[in-house]
Amino acid sequence: MPPRAPLLRIPYTDPLPAPRIIPASAATSSGAIAALVNFLSPSLPSSPSRSSSTTPASASSGHTVLLTGAGISVASGLADYRGTAGTYTLNRTYRPIYYNEFCASHEARKRYWARSFLGWTNLVRAKANAGHVAVGDLGRLGVVGSVVTQNVDSFHPLTHPALSTIELHGYLRTLTCLTCATSYPRSSFQHDLSRLNPSWATFLASMLETGALDTENPLERSKRGLKTNPDGDVDIPGAEYTTFRYPACPTCLKDGKIRVEVDTDGAWTTPAGGSGAGGAVLKPSVVMFGESIPAERKVAAEKTIDDASRILVVGSSLATYSAWRLVKRAKERNMPIGILNIGGCRGEDTFYANVQEEGNAGREAVRCSERADVILPQVVQALQASRSRDRI
Ligand SMILES: [Zn+2]
């Protein structure tokens, strides 16, 4: 029997120790930039003048694969799960929905969609940042061959469509019917929810008016009555979710093969009950907690690790098992490991256990605790300059 796909688990929440900065010179911003340039340089395709007669002109010692997490989207105004202290500092009451709960319970779906209805605006208003742009530049330079992201905000594929991105945990931009697998854009679903829930639409309008959504500071948002999480979910104390309405899959309803009780607007009218929820259930195209990552996506992510010669983690504390195990895989393949993340990372002591301080200027291993949107653009500039010099 094939091994069962691991289920997406709640991120590891224990406090993480402060990182050991590698090399020690990477403790300053300029030192971190220099160390990252050293780390990525072997992946920079060399110019004809530098390559030996036996090496093709474009050869490098292999691509770097990037593994990104919520930290790269913080500068876009999306909250990170963990503060720099390594705990759920931004929203202590946050409890995500589980896959089984979503599939089985009409009540759970009402609550999910009500919160998502309010949170969606936040995601729509967020924009990719300089960190995402720099990742695209690293792709154009030939340094980075592929990106694996844990983020569901779609910023990577939108910012650098030419550079392959595997969205490990799916994405919020579409919904998928659990019965017929038809996909629908989340943006038009928002209009459906608005139409079906006029009082919620009014509440959302008032939130926009109070400016709760204007600030990028999660604490400030919270003060104005709005708490948000990285998956686009919103938490409103005391809000009544039981009245929220959401539509069933239009394709299934048209077919008539699935019987669900809906009113004339297409909204569910009765709890479906039982497992499978009676069919025609629309689910966001994200991997929920307790759900497994689709096998082909998991294999594709592993392949990108195997095809690369080094791995750079950007903006992830590796708290999520599916991300941590990709770095573990890289470690087992003796690939150089780089981590650019503010605060500690799960298991990093093990990843860097055999790194010799002496003689390592970043090429063998790099660990720095800096903002990706500030550091990566400068790394790109330095690599571009180094390639230009190479061409002279
Ligand atoms: Zn359907």
The answer to whether 177 is a known ligand-binding residue is yes
For the cut 60, the answer to whether the pLDDT of residue 340 exceeds it is yes
Contact 97, 112 (CB under 8 A): yes
How many whole angstroms separate alpha carbon 376 and alpha carbon 131?
A: 6
The 8 Å CB, 24+ separation contacts for 116-119 are 116/232, 116/233, 116/234, 116/284, 117/190, 117/193, 117/194, 117/197, 117/200, 117/204, 117/244, 118/200, 118/203, 118/204, 118/207, 118/226, 118/234, 118/236, 119/228, 119/229, 119/231, 119/232, 119/233, 119/234
Query: How far, in Å, is the centroid of ligand 1 from the Cα of 349?
Result: 47
User: What are residue 338's phi and psi, to 5 degrees?
Assistant: -120, 140
Query: How far, in Å, is the centroid of ligand 1 from the Cα of 272?
Result: 15
CATH class of 24-76+129-169+293-391: alpha beta
Q: What is the pLDDT of residue 49?
A: 45
Q: What is the pLDDT of residue 173?
A: 95
| Mean per-residue pLDDT of the chain | 84
How many whole angstroms separate alpha carbon 340 and alpha carbon 317?
A: 10
What is the pLDDT averaged over residues 230-239?
56
Q: What is the pLDDT of residue 205?
A: 86
Per residue in 31-53, pLDDT (tens digit) is 999 999 999 999 999 754 444 44
Percent of the chain whose pLDDT exceeds 90: 54
Sorted by where each begins, the domain ranges of the chain are 24-76+129-169+293-391, 99-125+171-286
For the cut 90, the answer to whether the pLDDT of residue 357 exceeds it is no
The answer to whether 249 is a known ligand-binding residue is yes
Per residue in 118-157, pLDDT (tens digit) is 888 878 888 999 999 999 999 999 999 999 999 999 999 9
Residues identified as active-site: 169
Q: What is the pLDDT of residue 24?
A: 95
How many whole angstroms separate alpha carbon 80 and alpha carbon 11?
A: 12
The first and second tokens of residue 177, run together, are: 């019917």
What is the pLDDT averaged over residues 256-262?
76
Query: How far, in Å, is the centroid of ligand 1 from the Cα of 181?
Result: 6
The answer to whether 252 is a known ligand-binding residue is yes
User: What are residue 305's phi and psi, to 5 degrees?
Assistant: -65, -50
How many whole angstroms separate alpha carbon 245 and alpha carbon 264?
A: 12
Position 186 confidence tier, pLDDT thresholds 50, 70, 90: very high
Percent of the chain whose pLDDT exceeds 70: 80
